[in-house]
Amino acid sequence: MKGTLYIVSTPIGNLEDITSRALRVLKEVDVIAAEDTRHSLKLLTHYGISKPLVSYWGEKEKVKSTEILKKLNSGQTIALISDAGTPGISDPGSVLIKKALEEGIRVASIPGASALIAALSISGLSTEKFTFIGFLPVKHSQRQKVLKDLSLEQRTLVFYEAPHRILEALSDMKEILGERKITIVKEITKVHEEVFRGSISEILSRIEETTIAGEYVIVVEGRTGERRLTSDDALSEVDALMKKGLGRKEAVRKIAQAYGLSKKELYDRSLTRE
């Protein structure tokens, strides 16, 4: 009989933010697969948990997945944990999870702390509809392209960002998304947690004056304003996106979706304008 792979969420900062169920599973499994065994030992030692550990971080994930799958197929139970939060969500783990499912192994979720949900809940921005982007691309041109693609998104946007890129990311957001409301949470749930609320320009100025360190969660207001617009207005927005580098079909799709228009009609009209 095959074992079970448990996807266990661990604290994102404060070690108290772990469920009793997660602790029980970590104590009962045969093996714990950790993104970084040295980091995870701090948590396990804190709760008096001693189990065989397997590391699967970075490039090791594909190789280590084979080793872990053998253990699962032999009947062993394994808990998969990352350095913080849930494996597979802006963290390693998705490769192993996919392979386990393909081999008919039971995969069970042991939910817990989530930086994106925690930050969204205290942002003061709309939580009815939101989209999680995760980390923006490192390269400036690629980062700007992603932001341009998101510029018409009306749902609240949630990003993760590293300290050495936070100023660049905010500068690009200011340029492309304009003066929207944002909330930034620095070091969420940790001792030096800070929350910044205001416009993109205001927060950019404030961040520049603080000590930049730790991980950041950025919550950005979605595109606001009147949804109804004339056909000429819609075509002008299509032209604007195409000038920024989007192909005609993609530009038409975004505008049509944002304003509830017919993609075919808008596409046909965009061709006749040339």
pLDDT of 227 reads 47
pLDDT of 74 reads 97
Over pLDDT 90: what percentage of the chain? 70
Per residue in 166-177, pLDDT (tens digit) is 999 999 999 999
Strands 181-186 and 216-220: antiparallel
Domains of the chain: 4-113 (3.40.1010.10), 116-220 (3.30.950.10), 231-272 (no CATH)
Cut 0.75: pTM above it: yes
Is residue 103 predicted with pLDDT exceeding 50? yes
pLDDT classification of 13: cutoffs 50, 70, 90:
very high
Over pLDDT 70: what percentage of the chain? 96
Per residue in 16-68, pLDDT (tens digit) is 999 999 999 999 999 999 999 999 999 999 999 999 999 987 677 778 899 99
Is residue 186 predicted with pLDDT exceeding 80? yes
pLDDT of 229 reads 56
